[in-house]
A and B are shown apart, each in its own frame.
Chain A
Amino acid sequence: MLRAILLLLSIAVLQATENQSCLKCHGMANLSEQTGPGRKQHSYHVALSGFEHSNHHSLRCSDCHVQGYSQYPHAEAKTIPDCLGCHQDNSEFLDGSEERTLLLRDMKKMKTEFEQSVHHSALKDSFTCVHCHNPHRFVDQRGKNLSFEERIEWSNAVCLNCHNSEKQINELKTKEYVYRTPEEIHAWLPSAKMHWKKVRCVDCHADFSGMEHNKEERFSHKINPKEKAVRNCNQCHSKESILTTRIYQMNMRKALEEEGLIKAFLWNNSYVIGATRNRWLDIFTLMLLVSGVGGIAIHAYARYYVYRKNRKEKNNGE
């Protein structure tokens, strides 16, 4: 027992010592250089506060930055950290738990999707997992008890981290790409900010084909080119709403689990015009209208009948 504790303590001390050594330079906020084609400014800063709270906080820098980092300046031929080096079946980091297995299954699917995404087709190998999921501060929020809006905010923050920042985009963009803010791009969308609070970017900008029957949390890494983004309001605002197979499927399942059938179906916690309807209200109104119009038809016919009868009697009298 004592040996195990000592071993763990020494690993922690070694990790802390090594990471501190790296952070002596990489902890500086202004550590950056102009590099690559176009001499774009690239930051090498790693915020300790973010790293300490990330999913990777227990790792040593050298677990990912394997070769070419031990001396300064770092070697030109240093290895590029590879996420799938760990996130794969035979990784020494995986403990075989259910959560890990799910993570692995997701990773394989994500890789295939990502390779079909506009990010990959436009930027090839210069765009990797880390551009969206900064490993120095990435926190997996799945399984956490977040509200619906918090889940959406967390998901959209991944996209907005770059798309809200011209500086970030300029680090990656191709020559053809002209930066516009999300507000400018979505000027056509009514109540754009309201939409962003209620749907994820990927719900309109990713390809979910073939995922209709997937009961797991809905996400696709196959980000479409802008021409393929959802622009037809009816695609979401209709009974056949695509949202019911995307984020709102998860929302409804969560509501069913936590709030019960009646509340979930009667009220639909999130209102989407055209997609979420109160069936009972519609049925009641339809019955009211049908009985009202039916009553009017009977009344009108009775009036007509009496009118004809009276006219006949009047004619006969004359």
Chain B
Amino acid sequence: MENKHSSLGESHLDRYLYPLWLRTWHWLNAGLFLLLIASGVSMHFSSLEKPLIPFEAARLLHNISGILLTINYAWFVVANFVSGNYRQYVPVFKNIFARLFLQARFYLYGIFRGEDHPFHISLKQKFNPLQQIAYMIVIYYFIPFVIGSGILLFFPELAPENFLGFSGITPVAIFHISIGYMLTFFMVVHVYLATHGETITEHFHGMITGYHSGHIETHPQNKDESSKEGKP
């Protein structure tokens, strides 16, 4: 994709942060998350009188969405590795607390004072420190955990017969639901924080077109050692 746009000039290339594979994965993931949350909540809070989605339909929807999410995640892992995009998710722990504080301070105080974003987006560093930590946990821990426990619930006979004295399926289900809840919470916060561009729609627009329209660091400072790595 980058090559396709090389004729547009350096500034366009620098602004092309989200290649097609990433955007496809992202929006497919978002859609599947919504379906999984709706069907999962419907099954968990299933009601005989007023079901959100009838149980049989919710089960089918949850299973199909879960399988697609797993395939989508496998695709993401491969593309992420091949493209080098995985480096975006590796947080730099040097001065991590100071940088996290800077970012948190901006969200809680600086934004109301009209201060500039403490960390600007660049081709080599798309995430601020808070995003790096949160996305690393979500992408490399929560999603694999929810997929793994989902597979065990999909094939309940694979779940351990007994786990610490409990029926094996119970801790797996509680684990799956807990991670599901945390991912739901993440999604709510993620959508809200996506409104924190220079305009409310800037980041949404970027994730649709691939181009970041706001301020961009073409020569980012060495805030982050990962920027020394090769192209993303």
Contacts and interface: CB of A to CB of B under 8 A. Distances in A.
Query: Among A191, A271, A292, A296, which residue has the most Cβ atoms of chain B within 10 A?
Result: A271
Contact of B177 (A193, A270, A281, A289): A281
Interface of B: 43-49, 51, 54-56, 59, 107, 111-112, 114, 156-157, 166-167, 169-170, 173-174, 177-178, 181, 184-185, 188-189, 192, 195
Given A302-B112, A306-B112, 18 more contacts: A191-B157, A194-B157, A233-B59, A234-B46, A234-B51, A234-B55, A237-B55, A239-B46, A269-B166, A269-B167, A274-B45, A278-B177, A281-B178, A285-B181, A288-B181, A288-B185, A293-B188, A306-B114
- List 8 tightest A-B contacts by C-beta distance, closest first: A274-B46, A233-B55, A285-B181, A238-B46, A271-B170, A238-B48, A234-B48, A271-B173
A193 B46 CA distance: 22
25 contacts: A193-B157, A194-B156, A232-B48, A233-B54, A234-B47, A234-B48, A235-B48, A238-B47, A238-B51, A239-B45, A239-B47, A267-B166, A267-B170, A269-B167, A269-B170, A271-B170, A271-B173, A273-B44, A273-B46, A274-B43, A277-B45, A289-B184, A289-B185, A296-B188, A296-B192
What does DSSP make chain B's interface, helix, strand, loop or mixed? helix
Given A237-B55, A289-B185, A281 B174 contact: yes
B44 A281 contact: no
A271 B46 contact: no
Nearest to A277: B44
B45 A233 contact: no
A190 interface: yes
Contacts, number: 92
A274 B166 contact: no
A211 to B, nearest CB: 18
Query: Among A190, A237, A276, which residue has the most Cβ atoms of chain B within 10 A?
Result: A237
Contacts of A194: 156-157
A233 B111 CA distance: 50
Nearest to A191: B156
B113 to A, nearest CB: 8
Interface residues on A, range: 35 or more
Contacts of A277: 44-45
A289 B46 contact: no
A182 B168 CA distance: 26
A306 B55 CA distance: 46
A303 interface: yes
Contacts of A299: 107, 192
A293 B187 CA distance: 11
Contacts of A58: none
A146 interface: no
Nearest to A190: B59
Contacts of A274: 43-46, 55
Nearest to A289: B185
Nearest to A310: B114
A271 B192 CA distance: 35
Contacts of A273: 43-44, 46, 173
A278 B44 contact: no
A303 B45 CA distance: 35
Interface string A255-287: 000000000000111110111111001000100
